[in-house]
Amino acid sequence: MQVHIQKCQNCSSTNLRNIIARDDAQRVFVQCQDCGHFVARYVLAPGGYFHEGRDYESFLRTRMLDRGYSSGRDLKSLYKEVSESAKEGFEETLKRTKEKYGDELP
């Protein structure tokens, strides 16, 4: 796993704002909070969004908005699977980030 802490190309700030936009697809626009510059855009794969701390009902609502929603699957176990995998991915990413940057995070 390679890790990279995103910075503004214009002013090098890491004070960034994620704006989630939903229409036919889910997109995340990243804006610098210090200079207002457009930093990046991510297009999420169907079912690719996970938001920590939200409940199962909220998970289901987002799934319904996704075209990747599949009614045949056991959504309760999918919820558990996605939730655990997202948390594990976050822990692993933090570990790699600490290895790369040490205690001096940009």
Q: Note the residues at the interface with Zn ion (CB under 5 A).
A: 8, 10-11, 13, 32, 34-35, 37
Rounded to the nearest whole angstrom, what is the least distance from the CB of residue 16 to Zn ion in the complex?
8
C-alpha–C-alpha distance, residues 19 and 56, integer Å: 23
Rounded to the nearest whole angstrom, what is the least distance from the CB of residue 57 to Zn ion in the complex?
37
Nearer to Zn ion, 13 or 62 (CB): 13
Rounded to the nearest whole angstrom, what is the least distance from the CB of residue 44 to Zn ion in the complex?
24
Task: Give backbone dihedrals phi and psi of 67, rounded to 5 degrees, phi first.
Answer: -75, -15
Name residue, tokens 């409940």: 55
- Beta bridge partners, 41, equal 29
